[in-house]
Chains A and B, each alone.
Chain A
Amino acid sequence: MSKAIFEAFDGYQGIVDEIDFSRKHGVDYTVYRDSVDQQINLLHPSRISLRVSDIIVESPSTKTLRFVSQDGYLPPFLAGQYIAFFLEVGGVRTRRPYSLSSPPNQTGYYDITVRRVERGRVSNYLLDEARRGDILEGSGPSGHFYFNPVFHDRTQVCLAGGSGITPFMSMIREAVECGLDRTFYLFYGNKTLDEAIFHDELGRLSGRFQNIIYVPVIENPPGGYAGATGLITGDLIMKTIGDVADKTFYLCGPQGMYDFCVPELQRMGVPLRKIRREIYGPPAHIWEDPAWPREIKAEDHFRVRVAGGKPIDARAGEPLLTALENAGLRVPSLCRSGECSMCRIKILSGKVFQPAGVPVRKSDRQFGYVHACVSFPIEDLEILT
């Protein structure tokens, strides 16, 4: 077209006038600059700089680390959410998520509560090395394990195992400090009574507030122990809560607890939609998974080539993400449990084992993407990060 024909369309002059007018009274977009990032950083900063302001010994194996913000601002969160720490431990850059145990109404600091775990490189570092005044980089609050008032019931039945107590501490503290109209049944399983973190505080709260019902469940109780013992069974839950109607069930703890408790809840008649499970890291003994290929041993090693680069060494029993980090590669991650999809990588050749139920997008499966944090090499691999 030689000439713009639309100039002859009916109403053309009116539009030209409108353009003149709107430009004259228009928006000054030069001032927008990085305003989008600034606005989003108030809620979802990709990084926050945190200073250890206090270290509280909770038990011989557990400490609470209290953090204040370096720049004075802490983004809001929902009780139950976590933040990830970006750390360098033993020369390896890595990241670890920790649920916040302080309530969201406490806007001055974030608490995380860390328990010593066998071969827990990062946990042990935080327990043994972290000092008051240390500065750690963290992510903004994240995660989907929280009370959603739109469809959760106001009566929450919480099943915690070991350090899985932390998100519930945040929820319960918020409920009592803010006078929320919610009822908590907390079943807290531990091997021994000593291991029950926050046991005294929970006992006190439960004594003082009618809407907090605390039931510690001890697997190996001391002689003459009068409380609940063994595992958190359906019978114990039913005996305590009466019936399952109008209640939402929350679980946070190791895989073994889910394997035992979820069927118990279903046996009680709890529909799946009422059961909320917090993610809890990759399975510790993936080679014990029923679908694990028997010919592969946990100690078997495979070579992983990243985008044609030098091959690195990866152990079958260890998440691919860990191997990549150990080799000095920077792979972003947040939840390290298969949920957030930050560590999504493409497998160009070779096979990984992924436990059932890991939420990977359908089309990601089609095109060979996996979440490196819950993928275990069972062949030599070529990948794209």
Chain B
Amino acid sequence: MEAYDAVVIGAGNGGLTAAAGLAQKGLKVLLLERHNIPGGCATSFCRGRFEFEVALHQLSGMGTTERPGPLRMLLASLGVLEDLTFVEMKDLFSVSMTDGFRLTLRADKDQVISELEQRFPHEKAAIHQFFDLVYAYANNMLAAFFFKDPAPSREKYPVLYSHAFKPASEVLDEIFTDPLLKGLLSVYWGYLGLPPNRLSFAYLAMLLFVYIEFKPFHIKGGSQALSNAILNRFLSNGGTARFNGGAKRIIVENGAVQGVVTDDGDRIQTEHVVSNASQVTTYAQLMNRENIPDQVFTEMGGRSLSPSAFTLFVGFDCEPGELGITGSTNFLIDSFEFDDRIFSRMRSVDITGETMVLSCYDVADPDFSPAGACQANIVTLKYGEPWMRIPPARYHSVKFQCAESMLRRVEAIFPGVRTHIEELEAATPLTHMRYLGHPEGAIYGFEQYTKDSMFFQPGRYAPIEGLYFASGWIGDCGFQPTLNAGMSAAKSILKKLDAA
């Protein structure tokens, strides 16, 4: 029987860094992936002369070579930096509203503040107060957790103690009166999947902080380049990767991992499994119920599945400027909503006044698409469950109808885009379900309520010896957190082996 020190199930961000991190330390590692390419969300696909980016909008935590952020350091430790070219986005984001409102915020604290002061002079003091709070929170958080203060206290970290569990909209309501300004400052809720009234201020503050301090980035060749680079490092360190076939079963005996059965029926002996698959799939599909303590399902049962997404990938036969697109990251907004009404929108199939983000990578990287062409990735969050109720025979026509309504929303802000379309592909929640294997196509894993943050949940650990998780399902979602999650899982295994 084949034997490995560790088997990693899934070559998404978390699976790749876990596999690469383990192989780098000399472990014999097998990486299994159902799809024919590595990356999970971090992939691309080709249509005509375009290569479409699937999921990366703004990479966080990179920082510059002079002032590296945590992600740059992680990638450097894996030895993949020299294989990649990162492109800094100068803008935090642009907001375009159907009523004609336009605003662009540069990814710089002073410029964000001065731009907002100019546009909202009546909120000048509040703007300062807000950013002071965001920075105080982030600095408290980093000192207490990232730098692991051995003796934290309320006196040292007052903002952390008072604001960590507050909803974002409560904080915004306390500080601001102008609803437009509140909307602009909470527009990143879409990157986390919860409306501002449900989203914790902590997430919003950290997101603004890391994007402003470490700048948003994109990658030449898209997120697929990152996935390919990590896989390449894994292979050159002696790792074995198998594509077009995942894991069918995790073998557990006496509460400990004993091996894995692959989709092809091969039995692999191992004492360590890192699952980059969802916890739902890992526990409910890959393992026998009798090997799983009840507590696992009780704990998981309290969590709900995040939204999926409806995404349009459009290739245009002209440059972004000709379409009126001047920013890399554009939030397209009908009207700002902050409350549970956002849920009802996300729970319906049709697209009407949804907030959507249009990313045009060619703005920051003119080589992204072929010369004289550009592409846009336009996404809005949608739960997968309503899509699962569409009869298969109706699926394609519903997909086209939604693509049409989404395009109309884009046209309302960038008129004339339709006359330049060369390629157009739509991805529904079922598409995300197909390629990610996530139940209901949940792109962010479980919903990111405070109660489901790493403080309260088991994170990468399982009550089964040798089993670890590395994905967006264990707590925070997004590129930086999932890449980080894989490294943490690798470290846990290495630590355990060192101790033995």
- Residues of chain A touching chain B, judged by Cβ–Cβ distance below 8 Å, are 1-2, 4-6, 8-12, 14-15, 18-19, 22-23, 26-36, 39-40, 42-44, 75-76, 78, 107, 144, 148-151, 271-273, 332, 339, 341-342, 344, 357, 359-364, 366-367, 369, 384
Partner of A22, one of B44, B160, B303: B303
Considering only residues 219-245 of chain B, those with a C-beta below 8 Å from chain A are 220-222, 224-225, 227-229, 231-232, 235, 243-244
B47 nearest CB neighbor, chain A only? A144
A4 nearest CB neighbor, chain B only? B455
B425 nearest CB neighbor, chain A only? A144
Residues of B within 8 A of A369 (CB): 228
B224 nearest CB neighbor, chain A only? A363
Q: How far is it, in angstroms, between the C-alpha of A2 and the C-alpha of B303 when the chains are bound?
A: 27
Flag whether B304 is at the interface (Cβ < 8 A): yes
Partner of A26, one of B47, B229, B243, B302: B302
Taking a contact as CB atoms under 8 Å apart, the answer to whether A1 and B152 are in contact is yes
Taking a contact as CB atoms under 8 Å apart, the answer to whether B403 and A33 are in contact is no
Residues of A within 8 A of B231 (CB): 367
Q: How far is it, in angstroms, between the C-alpha of A149 and the C-alpha of B398 when the chains are bound?
A: 12
Taking a contact as CB atoms under 8 Å apart, the answer to whether A36 and B400 are in contact is no
Q: A35-B439, A40-B433, A361-B51 are in contact. Are A19 and B36 (CB under 8 A)?
A: no
Q: A35-B439, A151-B421, A332-B244 are in contact. Are A15 and B152 (CB under 8 A)?
A: no
Q: A36-B281, A150-B407, A359-B51 are in contact. List 19 more A-B contacts (CB 8 A).
A: A1-B150, A22-B451, A23-B299, A29-B300, A30-B297, A32-B285, A33-B285, A149-B400, A150-B403, A151-B421, A151-B424, A342-B36, A361-B44, A361-B46, A363-B44, A363-B227, A366-B83, A366-B225, A367-B232
Taking a contact as CB atoms under 8 Å apart, the answer to whether A5 and B152 are in contact is yes
Considering only residues 278-321 of chain B, those with a C-beta below 8 Å from chain A are 280-281, 283-285, 289, 297-305, 317
Q: Mark B155-170, 1 if CB is under 8 A from A, else 0.
A: 0000011111110000
Residues of A within 8 A of B317 (CB): 271-273
Considering only residues 426-475 of chain B, those with a C-beta below 8 Å from chain A are 426, 430, 433-434, 437-439, 449-451, 455-456
Taking a contact as CB atoms under 8 Å apart, the answer to whether A27 and B400 are in contact is no
Flag whether B393 is at the interface (Cβ < 8 A): yes
Q: How far is it, in angstroms, between the C-alpha of A369 and the C-alpha of B231 when the chains are bound?
A: 12
Residues of A within 8 A of B422 (CB): 272-273
A-B CB pair tally, cutoff 8 Å: 176
Query: Which label, helix, strand, loop or mixed, suits the secondary structure of the A interface?
Result: loop
Residues of B within 8 A of A363 (CB): 44, 221-222, 224-225, 227-229
Q: How far is it, in angstroms, between the C-alpha of A369 and the C-alpha of B51 when the chains are bound?
A: 15
Q: How far is it, in angstroms, between the C-alpha of A149 and the C-alpha of B289 when the chains are bound?
A: 47
Taking a contact as CB atoms under 8 Å apart, the answer to whether B302 and A10 are in contact is no
Partner of B430, one of A40, A76, A107, A361: A40
Considering only residues 12-61 of chain B, those with a C-beta below 8 Å from chain A are 36-37, 44-49, 51
Q: A15-B456, A35-B439 are in contact. Are A29 and B36 (CB under 8 A)?
A: no
Partner of B228, one of A23, A342, A367: A367
Residues of B within 8 A of A360 (CB): 46
Residues of A within 8 A of B424 (CB): 148, 150-151
Residues of B within 8 A of A359 (CB): 46-49, 51
What are the nearest 4 A-B pairs in CB distance?
Answer: A26-B301, A359-B46, A11-B165, A273-B422
Q: How far is it, in angstroms, between the C-alpha of A2 and the C-alpha of B149 when the chains are bound?
A: 11
Q: A15-B451, A32-B439, A76-B393 are in contact. Are A39 and B301 (CB under 8 A)?
A: no
Taking a contact as CB atoms under 8 Å apart, the answer to whether B283 and A29 are in contact is yes
Q: Looking at the assembled complex, report how far the CB atom of A316 sits from the nearest CB atom of chain B, in whole angstroms.
A: 26
Residues of A within 8 A of B303 (CB): 22, 26-27
Partner of A39, one of B160, B299, B388, B456: B388
A2 nearest CB neighbor, chain B only? B150
B304 nearest CB neighbor, chain A only? A27
> What are 5 A-B pairs at a CB distance below 8 A?
A4-B455, A8-B154, A12-B165, A78-B396, A361-B37
Flag whether B420 is at the interface (Cβ < 8 A): yes
Flag whether B266 is at the interface (Cβ < 8 A): no
Flag whether B148 is at the interface (Cβ < 8 A): yes
Q: How far is it, in angstroms, between the C-alpha of A6 and the C-alpha of B157 when the chains are bound?
A: 12
Q: How far is it, in angstroms, between the C-alpha of A28 and the C-alpha of B393 when the chains are bound?
A: 29
